[in-house]
Structures are given as structure tokens and as C-alpha cells.
Amino acid sequence: MKDIILFDDVSFFYNNESSEIKYVLNNLSIEIKRGEFVSIIGYNGSGKSTIAKHTNAIVVPSSGDVLVDGINTKNNDKLYDIRRRVGMVFQNPDNQIVATVVEEDVAFALENLGIDPKAIRQKVDEALDIVGMSNHKTDVPHNLSGGQKQRVAIAGVLAMQPDCIVLDEPTAMLDPEGRKTVLNTIKRLNREKGITVVLITHYMEEAAMTERVIVLKDGEVAKDGAPIDVFSDVDGIRNLGLDVPQVTSLCYELKKEGIDIGYAINIDDCVSKISNLFEEKK
């Protein structure tokens, strides 16, 4: 399967007045395949948001290369093509909402490109329908809940019909219900529309929902694999300044007490393993 995003030996530092150069990314190489659902986790300052900015050419590498569908992000003449392929959703939806009516906000980028109004109407309606916000298309965005606002922000990106969506901690400012609706939307986009999703999060339970987890430490890849493989190394994850999903922690504590049910990364799997244990003991 072809890469949609490729980091090839990427290093990056932010310019500042200090004579000391501190790299945020260090010789980082990551391949993200088309259609993948990937999460990126790491403690604050590990480089997560900097990776997100590289995928959309908001910043470019100090050394090495980032390729988006084969296009080098250092090529300024290809910025539209890059951002057409990779859409960004940020932590605070208020920073992405620019219009006073939901449907006008979703149409904003399309109108700036001079797309035919009939085509815009179709794309906006489709995007709002996908995120479940069709009934709110004439609402004032700032009267919506946090989760609804974030879905409007996602719709604005979807209207551009990207191949990949990168979400930088999109649920950090939401309540549990808002988080749930946004995550369900993201999963559906990947599963039903085949859109590549890169989810940057500090919630381990969210990372456990994805197909692949990349763990960062000091701008380098510390772990990369399926969630069950990454989080089963409980001590290793905790040594990186992170934690594991609560159900994984429960399995870990049970194992320390001599009750080995293996490891789980979600509630259903954990319940099943405990039930199986009871059945074996009968």
C-alpha cells in the first residue's frame, strides 16, 4: 500500500535568539500508509504537534524531507496540492471557525478557491451529513456545544475532500459526551470513507482505538506498533512518562497478584478475558 505521508530522516528546530539549537524532531522516519488509522502519543514537548505541522507544510524540515503523496513539502509551488491532500483539525475549534453561520463556515475555503456555487452546495451538504450536523447548517457556530463545533471544523476539512486528516488533540477541550461523538465521527470517516486519519492525543483510551500507535520521546520514535503490543509493555510505557489504558493497567495489576488473563486495551475485551477465567475455574 502506498505511503500518503513519509517522514524521511527529518530533524527540526525552531529558530530563536538562543545560540543553542534544540531539536524538536531528531532524525525521524515514519511511514503512514493510505487508509491507515494512526495515533501519535508522547509527553508534552515530545514533538507531536510539530509532526502535525509538518504534514500540512505549516513548517518544513530543518533537514530531511516530508513527502505528502510523493510531493515534497519544501516545494512552495505545491502548497495547495499538499493541503488539498492533508486537512488539519486543531485542538480549539473556535480557532478554525470564521463565519457566522455553520454552512457558510464549511463553504469558506471552497469559496476562496472560486469553485462553482452548485458544486460548493453539494460538497457542503455532503460534509455536514457525514459529521451528523445537517440539522444545524443554519445555526450560529458559537452557540453550539464544543463537540458540535469540532464536528463543524471537521466538516470544513472534509468539504475539501482530503485523502488524509490530521487531528491535533481534537478532544482535549471537550466533555466526555463531546469526545465520544467526535471520536465516533473520526472512526466512521476512516472505516466508511477510507480517509487516512492521524490522531494526536494525550488520552491513552483514544490511542487504543486506532490501528497503530506511534510513541514519541524527545522527537524520536520510541515505539511503533499495534495498540495491544505497545500498551502491553506497561513498564516501558510508564518509563516514557505516559500511562496505559485503565483496563490494561487492571490486567497488569492482576498479573502481579498471580492472576494472568493476558492484556486488554478496551473494556469489552477485558470483560471477556475475566469471564473466560471464571469459566475455566468452574
Does residue 220 carry a pLDDT above 90? yes
Query: If you average pLDDT over residues 232-245, what whole number do you get?
Result: 95
For the whole prediction, is pTM greater than 0.85?
yes
Tell me if 8 sits within 8 A of 89, measured CB to CB: no
How many Cα atoms sit within 13 Å of 192 on the Cβ side? Answer: 8
Name the band, by pLDDT with cuts 50, 70 and 90, for residue 19. Answer: low
pLDDT band at 1 (very low <50, low <70, confident <90, very high): low
CA neighbor of 92 nearest in space, from 44, 182, 183, 153: 153
Q: Tell me what the mean pLDDT of segment 51-78 comes to.
A: 96
Check residue 66 and give its pLDDT: 97
Give the pLDDT of residue 16: 72
Q: What is the mean pLDDT of residues 124-129?
A: 93
Partners of 65 in beta bridges: 8
Given a contact cutoff of 8 angstroms between Cβ atoms, the answer to whether 54 and 86 are in contact is no
Q: What is the pLDDT of residue 245?
A: 95
Whole-number pLDDT of residue 123: 92
Q: In terms of C-beta distances under 8 Å and separation of at least 24 residues, what long-range contacts does 51-55 make, across chains too?
A: 51/7, 51/25, 51/200, 51/216, 52/88, 52/166, 52/168, 52/198, 52/200, 54/7, 54/10, 54/12, 54/25, 55/5, 55/86, 55/88, 55/164, 55/166, 55/198
What cell was used for 17?
Answer: 535568539
Residue 38 has pLDDT above 90, yes or no: yes
Mean pLDDT, rounded, for 236-245:
95
Give me the chain's average pLDDT, please. Answer: 92
Average pLDDT, stretch 79-91? 92
- pLDDT number for residue 219: 94
Beta strands in the chain (DSSP E): 3-13, 23-33, 37-41, 63-68, 71-72, 86-89, 164-168, 196-200, 212-217, 220-225
Q: What is the pLDDT of residues 154-175, one digit of tens each?
A: 999 999 889 999 999 998 888 8
Give the pLDDT score at 142.
87
Domains and CATH numbers, the chain: 3-242 (3.40.50.300), 245-282 (no CATH)
Over residues 251-278, the pLDDT tens digits come to: 999 999 999 999 999 999 999 988 888 8
Burial 176-205 (b: 16+ CB within 10 A, else e): eebbebbbebbeebbeeeebbbbbbbbbbb
pLDDT-derived band of residue 18, with 50, 70 and 90 as boundaries? low
d(CA 159, CA 176): 26
Task: Give the separation between CA 20 and CA 15, rounded to whole angstroms.
Answer: 10
Mean pLDDT of 138-159: 92
Which pLDDT band, with edges at 50, 70 and 90, does 14 fall under? confident
User: Which range has the worst mean pLDDT, 64-68, 75-79, 157-161?
Assistant: 157-161
pLDDT for 154: 92
Mean pLDDT throughout 190-213? 95
- With a pLDDT cut of 90, the percent of the chain lying above it is 72
